[in-house]
Amino acid sequence: MAETAGLLDCGFGIRFWGVRGSIPVSGRSYERFGGDTTCFEIRVAGRRVIIDAGSGLRRLGQAMDAAGEQDATLLFSHLHLDHVIGLTAFSPLWRRAGEIAMYVPACAAADPEAQLSHLFGEPFFPVGFAQAPGKVRFSRFVPGGEPPLPGLDLATTALTHAPCAAGFRFRYGGRTLVILTDHEHAAGDPTQELIAFCKWADLIVYDAMWDEEVDYEPHRGWGHSTWQAGLRLLEAAGARRLACVHHSPDLPDAALEQRKADLRRRHPESFFARQDDVVVLIA
């Protein structure tokens, strides 16, 4: 795994800065798939959009520093700790010139600034959110409602996970990228609503934390899905490729290689994403 990846430079694509679920992990048995939690960089229509602030966000911030990029747009799928844990280490927050727009799914009256401010200041962090010199602007969006980012062909949908969790669909240049994490599939077939959301997608990034035949049953109802359910959705939607993410912290590289091989036998185009992987949809 490269120590520092660079920023994505293409017409439309994704870099996986963190693909681990629940909690960051490290050590030699995690070197191949990586230990950082959820953070994806989307390059679309000349813009850079960051999905989630897991621990992978720290290295993305470093890549932005190296490229002299100060401003950032962050979209949150939800605010569970593994999706926000990188925020305090995001260098643009600590630069006076940085302007950071954060879009938070909010189904209730909760104030996203107040929610995320809990991560900063004592007793969890030595510096309060108000002391970070970067300028932050918060916006709320309702999953399935008005698109949060004007000027982009971006839709959201409510996922089965936290009380308010969002999936995303970007369309650009005739290509479609769908992000569905974190999410637990419905029993049986995928819902018509989700099939419609994923219709003809070129890539579905999917919460495949479990395997139906190995470890899903004891975790049914925990809010995460399986690669088998991801494949059923892919096939029902006529989509092209599945990128499995949110790997369990209990799965070292050898276990993920086994799942990768099982998935490949069923669908050779699909894969288990590794940290720093890139998929370019338009060069």
- Candidate list 80, 171, 185, 260; residue touching Zn ion; CB under 5 A: 80
Query: Applying CB under 5 A, what is the total number of residues that bind Zn ion?
Result: 4
Tell me how far, at minimum, the Cβ of 270 lies from Zn ion, in Å.
20
- In the complex with Zn ion, which residue's Cβ is closer, 64 or 179? 179
Strand, helix or coil for residue 188: coil
Of the ranges 21-29, 104-112, 118-126, 227-235, which one interacts with Zn ion (CB under 5 A)? 21-29
* Contact flag: residue 82 with Zn ion (CB under 5 A): yes
Of the ranges 89-97, 152-160, 182-190, 195-203, which one interacts with Zn ion (CB under 5 A)? 182-190
In Å, what is the CA distance from 4 to each residue of 93, 145, 157? 20, 36, 32
Ordered DSSP codes for 98-158 = -EEEEEEE-SSS--HHHHHHTTSSTTT-SS-GGG--SEEEEEEE-TTSS-SSTTSEEEEEE
CA geometry: angle 165, 159, 251, nearest 5 deg: 85
The DSSP H or E segment spanning 61 is helix 57-67
Give which of 163, 165, 230 is closest to 195, Cα–Cα.
230
The residue sitting closest to Zn ion, measured at its beta carbon, is 80
- Candidate list 41, 182, 211, 277; residue touching Zn ion; CB under 5 A: 182
* Contact flag: residue 52 with Zn ion (CB under 5 A): no
* Contact flag: residue 36 with Zn ion (CB under 5 A): no
Tell me how far, at minimum, the Cβ of 224 lies from Zn ion, in Å.
8
User: Which residues of the shown chain bind Zn ion in the complex (CB under 5 A)?
Assistant: 21, 80, 82, 182
